[in-house]
Structure 1
């Protein structure tokens, strides 16, 4: 997968916090966790001496007390799960960002911006006039958002990102150093580090028949379980202006598109 060729899953940020650091919030003596598990406080509260192991619906251990998981004393998670594919990152991000309850503003918000939701804004970041934020959103440090952008929850944007004029971002993850040029749309997608979307780049995220999206993994089509699903973009990808990307497509690290290109199939670069 494009994102997992350049970083381990445990080193992927969820809401701008590494997955491994999310695990640290549950650290107690004797507790072990699967490196790729997304864990919720609701499920972790279920662990006890009588039920020392938390498993997913496939009985994969997610967290346990002791040296090894005890399958005979396991409880099935309600909301925790194993991150296997990039679209699982979106599910974890939705859970974390959607649960924000109080704002944290360290940057500057222009008086003519409208905020309807809980926002975390990093130091040195600026939200310019005309920006409308609807839902919970996390924006890192030293970012520039707008003017006239529409940012929808649950979106997380890393450090040193630029979201240009009249861009819409919905339920997506953007890693640090990524730029989305003016008049673009990014929906239900994951963008790696130092990606540059040329002006007018549009991701499609809905099938005409309303069914779940499927995407190719190791030569086979896999059901993502998602009715809304955009694209997965590796580090350093550059798109030409007015690029259109079909749902469920993957662009590998270092790949690029030409102006006006329609991405109907995965784009593999020589950096794979």
Structure 2
């Protein structure tokens, strides 16, 4: 499976497009998300974005519920909803027409346009591609239990990331079923669906249906 940025993500659907284009693999971009947001924020049109707190930019058409927490730095894009008790810890670039739902926690992430994390999701040290969707209760696990550095497993290939914290990369149009866990270093190709209550690790090919770790069918 090819894991290049261009194979997984349509960069026209995020403010981070030029930034991501610099990298071979998308997880290489995780280290610089905070600095990216701090550089992008001051360039956003002041007539279109409010700045309710230092280094927090919210598009005027976005809907942020009163009980949501927006930690700096973050950018909330046009027509996005940040619902009750959402916890954006910081370093979150959230695109247009997204849903950050009730009790969802985001930390060091890029959400492309039209991403939905609607119910009880944790997304940390991850990138979610255009129109990807996390079912209720599905999470990214971003630290290995033994605290060793995350390795991406791609068939027989092992790619050292050098990162202690790395959740998942979701390609465009990925559907993750309810109550699934994406283990550290998971990479899911475009147009793939994950069955509910799955435990996913390694790389999952594009245009697939993941039923179990050893039961992955090609989408017809």
Any residues of structure 2 matched to 1:1-272 within 5 Å, and which?
1=3, 3-5=5-7, 13=14, 16-19=15-18, 36-37=21-22, 83-98=23-38, 106=48, 117-217=54-154, 219-270=156-207
Instruction: Check the 8 A contact 1:105/1:119 in 2, yes or no.
Output: no
Change (3 A) 1:134 1:241: same
Return 162-171 or 120-129, whichever deviates more: 120-129
Of Structure 1 and Structure 2, the greater strand share is in: 2
What is the CA deviation profile of residues 156-197 of structure 1, one whole-angstrom value per residue up to 9, with x for unaligned ones? 011110111110011001000110021110000000000111
What is the CA deviation profile of residues 5-52 of structure 1, one whole-angstrom value per residue up to 9, with x for unaligned ones? 25577x574xx1431xx7xxxxxxxxxxxx954xxxxxxxxxxxxxxx
- Where structure 2 has 5 or more consecutive residues not aligned to the other structure, the ranges are 209-217
How many Å separate the matches in 2 of 1:6 and 1:100?
23
How many Å separate the matches in 2 of 1:108 and 1:138?
10
Instruction: Check the 8 A contact 2:121/2:138 in 1, yes or no.
Output: yes
How many Å separate the matches in 2 of 1:3 and 1:100?
20
Q: Give the 3-state SS of the residue equivalent to 1:154 in structure 2.
A: strand
* Alignment coverage as a number of residue pairs: 205
Instruction: Check the 8 A contact 1:154/1:172 in 2, yes or no.
Output: yes
How many Å separate the matches in 1 of 2:49 and 2:62?
5
What is the CA deviation profile of residues 103-140 of structure 1, one whole-angstrom value per residue up to 9, with x for unaligned ones? 9584689xxxxx76511112311111211122200111
Please tell me whether Structure 1 or Structure 2 has the larger radius of gyration of its CA atoms. Answer: 1
Return 156-165 or 117-126, whichever deviates more: 117-126
Change (3 A) 1:105 1:258: farther
Instruction: Check the 8 A contact 1:215/1:248 in 2, yes or no.
Output: yes
How many Å separate the matches in 2 of 1:6 and 1:203?
18
Change (3 A) 1:214 1:128: same
Which runs of 4 or more aligned residues in structure 1 lie more than 3 Å from their structure 2 counterparts after TM superposition?
6-9, 98-109
How many Å separate the matches in 2 of 1:36 and 1:197?
25
How many Å separate the matches in 1 of 2:49 and 2:34?
23
How many Å separate the matches in 1 of 2:68 and 2:47?
16
Return 242-251 or 126-135, whichever deviates more: 126-135
Instruction: Check the 8 A contact 2:41/2:57 in 1, yes or no.
Output: no
How many Å separate the matches in 1 of 2:102 and 2:168?
21
Return the offset for 1:88: 1.8
Match of residue 215 from structure 2 = none
Change (3 A) 1:151 1:117: farther
